[in-house]
Structure 1
């Protein structure tokens, strides 16, 4: 039988905490690295763009037009810049506990969905916005409804590309809009791999 002093026990527990923290950091780093890889494939990630530069790009666009850029604030990685009925606005994306979600007021934060991928987050809100847009068109509504508290409705419907996307990428997005079962399509494996490399429809 062996005995262990409280000091040595604390040392072991401390080492475990260090190992756990190291693992968490590595996990976060790999998640962010994967997010960056996906973002570079989108065509609408603008990198280190300033808020004023984003405003200039969006100035003459229609409501719902958006782009994604690096956040200018240290506590956040990315920011969505979008055109609203009141003009361009910015919405930060928070990264916490390995998940991405939109930044918002404290009372709303717990209700916001979290995503493992930034592109998945954007895709979700684009689909939500397009559904809302279709519903408004079906009811012949020409003006975006204004919430009673005077805030502006944020829609994400059309990305601004840094340059003209390749025909291959546009075809990939179109296919992804039609099906999620890429592996079941009668296509060469190389083409299936290309489709699977970016499994989003925005």
Structure 2
């Protein structure tokens, strides 16, 4: 091994065929995510991540204590989605309940997304959220998008999706740039 501060070894050429001179392969960075079981699962998670990144309420790698601290002073029903710290779970829903901040694992199975302990399964995470927002229990009411104001573009996108519906976005008489922007997050949540 060459040490840059060692003049005796600085001029010694390394033999790439000699394994003692080749640096060991660096291990992959650790991750808490399990490997994907199927290609379709990878596609679903990648698509969900793209939408989450444009949702405004995705908090990424936030631990439970930080999520609960952010939600504790907010009205009941305020929620966010964050990365799960469980090795076999991708996302966690954290929300302010009447009893205080609560977190529930969002499970991904062969048929779609479900909250841990629930029998309701949905083809996408946003259908799951819409169901619990519109349910009679009203466990979820509004996403937590932080303290910074939302842009007029973000507010307009959600209003357009709410008015015309996700399935009608392709037929709207708008420019390609506007259509592409609408498709980045085609949900009214």
TM-score normalised over the length of structure 1: 0.68
Aligned to 1:156: 140
Residues 142-189 of structure 1 show CA distances to partners (whole Å, capped at 9, x for unaligned) of xxxxxxxxxxx6611111114433221111001111111223433223
The 3-state SS of whatever aligns with 2:159 is helix
* Larger proportion of helix: 1
1:21-36 residue pairs with structure 2 within 5 A? 25-36=38-49
1:183/1:33 CA distance change after superposition, 3 Å: closer
Shift of 1:70: 0.9
Relative CO higher for 1 or 2, CA cutoff 8 Å, sep ≥ 6?
1
Counterparts of 2:62 and 2:37 in 1: how far apart (Å)?
29
Counterparts of 1:170 and 1:178 in 2: how far apart (Å)?
12
Superposition CA RMSD, Å: 2.0
1:41-60 residue pairs with structure 2 within 5 A? 41-60=54-73
1:75/1:183 CA distance change after superposition, 3 Å: closer
TM-score normalised over the length of structure 2: 0.72
Kept after mapping to 1: 8 A contact 2:111/2:122: no
Does 1:195 pair with 2:179?
no
Does 1:85 pair with 2:98?
yes
Larger radius of gyration: 2
Shift of 1:126: 1.9
Shift of 1:96: 1.3
The number of residues matched between the two structures is 151
Q: Which runs of 5+ in 2 are unaligned?
A: 1-35
Kept after mapping to 1: 8 A contact 2:94/2:101: yes
Q: Which runs of 5+ in 1 are unaligned?
A: 1-22, 133-152
Shift of 1:191: 1.3
Counterparts of 1:77 and 1:175 in 2: how far apart (Å)?
30
